[in-house]
Amino acid sequence: MTGAKIFTIANQKGGVGKTSSVVQIASGLARRGEKVLMIDGDPQGNLTLFFGAKEKLDFSRLIDDLAKDAKPKPEAFINPRVRRNLDLIPAANKRLRLDIHDTQIIGDYERFAEFVGALRNRYDWIIIDSSPSNSPLEHMLIRASDAVIIPLEFQLFSVSGLESILEEVRACSAEAGREIHVHSLIFTKAENRLHRVQTYRELFSTFHIPVYEICKSEYISRSLEKSRTIWECGPSSYAARDYRTLIDKGFPVPL
The whole model's pTM is what? Answer: 0.94
List Cα–Cα distances, 78 to 39, 59, 73, 97, 138, in angstroms: 9, 10, 9, 22, 20
Instruction: Kindly report the CATH class assigned to 6-250.
Output: alpha beta
Question: How many Cα neighbours within 13 Å face the side chain of 27?
Answer: 23
What residues does each domain of the chain span? 6-250
For residues 245 and 222, what is the distance between their CA atoms, to the nearest angstrom?
Answer: 21
Q: What is the pLDDT along the chain (255 residues), one digit of tens a residue?
A: 557 899 999 998 888 889 999 999 999 999 999 999 999 999 999 999 999 977 788 999 999 999 887 789 999 999 999 999 999 999 999 999 889 999 999 999 999 999 999 999 999 999 999 988 889 999 999 999 999 999 988 776 677 778 889 999 999 999 999 999 999 999 887 776 666 677 777 777 888 899 999 988 888 988 888 999 999 999 999 999 999 999 999 999 887
